[in-house]
Structure 1
Amino acid sequence: MTSYLIRPDLVTSPDGPFLAAAELTQAEARETPPHSHARGQLMGALSGLMSVGLDNQNWVVPAVHAIWIPPHCVHSVRSYGPFSGWSVFITEPRCANLPGAPRAIRTTALLREAVRRAATWPGAELDQTQARIAEVVIDELRASKEESLALPRPEDPRLIRITDALAADLSDNRRLEEWAAWAGLAPRTLSRRFLAETGLSFAQWRQQARVLRALELVADGVAVTTIALELGYENVSAFIDMFRRALGTTPGRYLAAEETNDNAGA
């Protein structure tokens, strides 16, 4: 039996409140196959890990982040293990001034608190107080800065074999030439096709995969030394340097900022 996150009519119908929200806490993994709906959806994580499939990209959603999915955009959703998060559904006319393409954002304490309030509403037309809170959600989304949480997926089966193997073991430090030989490709072909199909070089793709995995582990409170080893770095300093170059801060400061946001929204 399907367990709905929110009443289906609040997702598919243009009628009803212009904004509806729901929160979800679960102990087991949850997977939703590719689908779309007329309302735009903003989905965020509070704890645990969620991924969103959009076109040929996989968007990882670590804690205190969210993904905006415009109306009619086909997407799939998967959570891994224990997870707590939320979703907001906005009617299509109210999406006109919101981003026209999917994007990842880092949420604010104000946005999360407004969503928490909205998730308690019954799904009826909004009163004046509720409408003001709903407008806060829309304003926060409109003003948010885009973050790079997407990992493009190639189409060539040989490249997919490589990316799947890397995703399973990001500590694998084989060079491009070694991966090419393993997959039966010439190094130049691998390099050229990787860039053409993902928009990233092989080295950039692997680093992005490591950054996203690092965000997941940092959000779960895993020790920095353990993260560095899991991602294939010889020492903690090299990992911290990569993290700083990619995100503009160190893992410790990133986690402290998340904890500050959580406390502010509590």
Structure 2
Amino acid sequence: MANTFDLTGKVAVVTGASSGIGTDAAFAYAHAGADVAILARRAEKLKDVKEKIEKETGRKVVAVSCDVTQEENVKSAVDTVLKEFGHIDILLNNAGIAVQGGVDSMSVEAWNQSFDTNVKSIFLMSKYIIPQMKEQGYGKVVNIASVNAIVADKFDTFIRHSYNSSKSAVLGLTKGMAASYARYGITVNAIGPALFESEMTSDTLFKSNEFLVKYNTLNPSGRPGNKGELNGTILYLSSDASSYVQGQFIVVDGGGSIV
């Protein structure tokens, strides 16, 4: 039986690739045989990631500085990737932000920032990549949502209403895209991670011993996710192993959403 997880000959685009889940996913794609385009705003960090992936895997990596909330940035970035590789097979929409605050306290600017980064970026990346996927009759789109798309935060001192609602919007967008583009050989699915250490969480959640004790107590696995533990799900939804999986939401949370 052929290895349905093999990505040899594929090109993957990863947003938010300068750190955390995005960097891990880019390495995973390259190890699976794909060439990779990594996108983020921070050019120097991208350069470092590019060099490490190429040295470790031997795959070709293109680093493109891009603000995925800005249409012209996205259009230019996609044009660059297509010029370098000729085609795009996989899009991992990973860029995201978690703004704290409830609707009674947060600013409109903070609310809009959440939706621009978490939802608008998926719209823009898909807007410029889906047409090429339709033309080639193949594509895998994976959207990183959050377990907090379906469950609220469990701590009174930790409220993120714009995060909850924007990540829920990702699920609606995922289903709509999946239904519309399945006929073109494109699958669209979403992943809902719980707490994983990243640049976004290390300076806040992982520095709070009180928070981690509560989190570990409430999670059946008794711990946050470890580095790389999302990669299996990402590779599954990005490969032909999931060829008949469409519009689904896979939660990777150690069981936190079942209790």
The TM-score range, normalised by the shorter chain, is: under 0.3
TM-score of the two chains, using structure 2 as the length reference: 0.27
TM-score of the two chains, using structure 1 as the length reference: 0.26
Tell which structure's C-alpha radius of gyration is larger.
Answer: 1
Structure whose residues are more often helix by fraction: 2
Structure whose residues are more often strand by fraction: 1
